[in-house]
A and B are shown apart, each in its own frame.
Chain A
């Protein structure tokens, strides 16, 4: 019985490349990884947005209408729906003049119970320390 913690750190902007979306989809894949593992073993993901990456969490993205692709906003909501720990760097958010009102903080309308946590970078650094592995997108 073991749990391996993986930190997914997202620094890239959405849409120019698919990197930040792949961070979300890989983190969400932790929900089905059990089928490959022994009983009781599992992967615990933590998803952290830093630098320009915090802009993936902005509300009111119309990517589905414009590009015909799921928005990063929708992916963040899915992550929250699946109870993933979602962290957004407070200093970086404030650096863009943004607040919690500007970003996806919950997924209540689809039944999500956990909320996004806006935290100082120092707290994200602690997650990097406690993670078994890092995936920096």
Chain B
């Protein structure tokens, strides 16, 4: 079994890349792999508490929570990107990490694969 580090820099609303990143993570974890997911730029929206579930917008939190509970999935928000959007640690869903950018590079150091999905 391996480890993959995914960086997703795209927003929850306005892009389907986070949807891709979560579905890919889910498939990888179910196959026994480990996944580190780094959220940067507009990707940090995924960690905001209190997201509404509407049929016209992508809602990923149920799968994210299942992934966190699997123990094989780490998800971390870029602290500066989140703060710039008014998302503090208190506003961040439990189970999400908050870290500076070197977290992503440290994960990249020890991983087998990187899938870096850039911003819009």
Contact = CB atoms under 8 A, between A and B. Distances in A.
A30 B105 contact: yes
Query: Which of A35, A135, A136 has the most chain B CB within a 10 Å cutoff?
Result: A135
A43 B105 contact: yes
Contacts of A133: 108, 111, 114
B108 A4 contact: yes
B70 to A, nearest CB: 23
B118 A137 contact: yes
Interface stretch (B21-29, B48-56, B58-66, B96-104): B96-104
Contacts of B119: 12, 17-19, 22, 137
A62 to B, nearest CB: 21
Interface in A15-41: 17-19, 22, 25-26, 29-30, 32-33, 35-37, 41
Interface of B: 7, 9, 40-41, 81, 100-106, 108-109, 111, 114, 116, 118-120
Q: Is the interface of B mostly helix, strand, loop or mixed?
A: mixed
Nearest to A28: B101
Interface of A: 2, 4, 6, 12, 17-19, 22, 25-26, 29-30, 32-33, 35-37, 41, 43, 133-137
Nearest to B106: A36
A33 B41 contact: no
A29 B1 CA distance: 29
B118 A33 contact: no
A33 B114 contact: no
Nearest to A8: B116
